[in-house]
Amino acid sequence: MYNNISFFGTHTMIYNTIKHLLLLLITCIVLLYPVPETGSNRNILFLAILLLLLIWKFLPQVKHSYFMPPLAEQRYPLLLLFTITAWMFIQTTLFAVDRAESFNNLIEEWMIGGLIFGWLTWNLAKITNDNTEHSPDGSGLANIGSLLITGITLAAFAHALWLFYHQIPIWQNGGAYPYGSTPYAQRDFLSFPINLAFIVFIADIAGYISLKKRILRIPLSLSTLFIIISTAAIIAVHTRNGVLSAVAALIILAAATGHYLWYNRQKKMAVMMVAAPLLMINIFAISTINTDSRWAGFWDTVEVATDIENNRAWLDSSKHPYPKTKNGDPVDASAYLRIAWITLTIEGIEKHPLGYGYGLGAAGKYIEEEYERKGFVSSHSGILDFTLANGVPGLILWILFSTMLLWSGWSVFMKGNPYGLLLILMLANFFTRTVLDGHFGGFRFKMFALFMGAIFYLATHYHYSSKKYANTD
């Protein structure tokens, strides 16, 4: 008897130790991901996570439920994810211009950077939230929450604090506030994780107001404070795609929570949950328009940038000077190049409707082949890069997959699960950024997959016990 108690006690200690180590390791990975020259450190941490997961699976406390039939909200998204992956291999085998490069990119970016990363946090969410569905008072989701989501969100939020730690001393010594100045690398390296944290914070507050259920395991006052700080950081990092993706998420937040509350006869609260996001959108609009001169004359730039035949600065600005707008003003070089590259990528899609071959650099390869213009990589529109790489069938499948995820999120949110709302907002944020920048590869796609694996598990895992969490009027 004593030996049995000792045996299970030891294994329980190992079980809990592994849970906490896994949380620590994945949090460190999210913290390091945007930081340049940390690839080897991240790889070591990933190997450690895989080893711990292997050990965990053999512990007696672990419930072996991985081969259970998927739940309704899981079934169709997972089927479409499998179909997308199958099409990518078919496209690479039959239609890719460079099959070897396409295959290597497919394995590295999609299989490892997407599917495996998502599977990883799916498992971690399962471990860190084990047995929450058995909470006797029916509040397990609210009380236990997600340590995993909390950890990786705070790790992403740390980059907002890092940004201000860099900018405020410059401001104090220089006069004008240094919008867009960052401690390392490109602005988007900070913009993306800051936006991810912002999305989780607003979903946490909205979940509490609408459902009386929390997402994060931090005080409500801290979530509110962190919304304010991350809002300021989105403005301070000075990226238009960061602002627009935050605005898109706020619009969806207002629509979703407003509908839920109105449907549940909480009309005053519904009005408040529509008004608050709209107020935040106004703050973003006023702040960014006043601090970012690139918004002025944007549409005039669009008009000349789409004329790639007559205005060829995109090909070689030393031979072809940047054009002027119809008003005679110089074009914004950044906006001009992005729009010209988008126009060229659309041209490539028309010529390769079944795909050019998987890879973030598909647009660059196409332009190099057609125009002998080297050094170009992405169209700066991830959705167009994805379409050129995988063809129109790939785009259709991705839209269907995203639609199914939205349906899953909406379904469980209407039944009282706040992670369903978070799933919707995370997709809205990512979709907006893929339209405006190249996010189907690199660290940003990997970070998105890390968040989505955990969120999808937490959103769909509670479907069968949704009555337990339903918000009754």
DSSP string for 31-51? HHTTSTT-HHHHHHHHHHHHH
Most distant CA pair in the chain: distance in Å? 89
Buried/exposed 19-40: b ≥16 CB within 10 Å, e otherwise: beebbebbbbbbbebbbeebee
Number of neighbouring beta carbons within 10 Å of residue 181: 16
Report the distance separating Cα 50 and Cα 300, nearest Å.
52
Domain boundary among 39, 62, 85: 62
How much is the pLDDT for 293?
58
SS3 268: helix
- What's the whole-number mean pLDDT along residues 52-60? 77
Are 429 and 461 contained in the same domain? Answer: yes
How much is the pLDDT for 342?
86
Are 25 and 151 contained in the same domain? Answer: no
pLDDT range class, residue 124, cuts 50, 70, 90: confident
Token pair for residue 451? 């968040």
Q: What angle do CA 109, 114, 116 make, to 5 degrees?
A: 110
For residue 315, the 8-state DSSP code is T
Are 121 and 31 contained in the same domain? Answer: no
Are 361 and 240 contained in the same domain? Answer: yes
Q: Which long-range contacts (CB under 8 A, 24 or more apart) does 171-177 make?
A: 177/236, 177/291
For residue 132, the 8-state DSSP code is G
SS3 265: coil
- What's the whole-number mean pLDDT along residues 85-90? 96
pLDDT range class, residue 70, cuts 50, 70, 90: low
Are 75 and 44 contained in the same domain? Answer: no
Are 29 and 74 contained in the same domain? Answer: no
Report the distance separating Cα 189 and Cα 244, nearest Å.
16
SS3 330: strand
pLDDT range class, residue 140, cuts 50, 70, 90: very low
Residue 50, pLDDT > 70, answer yes
Contact criterion met (CB below 8 Å) for 451 and 41 = no
Q: How many CA atoms lie within 13 A of 426 on its CB side?
A: 30
How much is the pLDDT for 223?
95
Token pair for residue 452? 């989505």
Token pair for residue 110? 């999609």
Are 10 and 153 contained in the same domain? Answer: no
Alpha-carbon distances of 44 from 17, 28, 50, 256, rounded to whole Å: 19, 11, 10, 40
- What's the whole-number mean pLDDT along residues 137-164? 76
Contact criterion met (CB below 8 Å) for 261 and 309 = no
Contact criterion met (CB below 8 Å) for 231 and 198 = yes
Are 147 and 33 contained in the same domain? Answer: no
pLDDT range class, residue 1, cuts 50, 70, 90: very low
Question: Is 437 within a domain?
Answer: yes
Are 114 and 56 contained in the same domain? Answer: no
Question: Is 133 within a domain?
Answer: yes
Token pair for residue 184? 């390392």
User: What pLDDT digit, counting tens, does each position of 369-405 carry?
Assistant: 888 777 777 888 889 999 999 999 999 999 999 999 9
Q: What's the alpha-carbon Rg for the chain, to the nearest Å? A: 23
Report the distance separating Cα 385 and Cα 31, nearest Å.
27
Residue 330's beta-bridge partner residues? 324
How much is the pLDDT for 4?
47
Report the distance separating Cα 405 and Cα 268, nearest Å.
30
Contact criterion met (CB below 8 Å) for 31 and 155 = yes
Contact criterion met (CB below 8 Å) for 49 and 25 = yes
Domain boundary among 62, 84, 103: 62
Domain count for the chain: 2
Domain boundary among 45, 62, 79: 62
- Name the residue range of residue 365's domain: 70-297+332-473
Name the H helices within 115-219. 117-128, 140-144, 147-174, 188-211
Question: Is 309 within a domain?
Answer: no
Are 31 and 108 contained in the same domain? Answer: no
Are 409 and 462 contained in the same domain? Answer: yes
pLDDT range class, residue 184, cuts 50, 70, 90: confident
How much is the pLDDT for 176?
86
Question: Is 304 within a domain?
Answer: no
Contact criterion met (CB below 8 Å) for 390 and 377 = no
Report the distance separating Cα 464 and Cα 72, nearest Å.
9
**Nearest Cα to 205, choosing from 422, 469, 458?**
422
Are 401 and 444 contained in the same domain? Answer: yes
Contact criterion met (CB below 8 Å) for 139 and 13 = no
How much is the pLDDT for 156?
95
Token pair for residue 432? 């907006």
SS3 121: helix
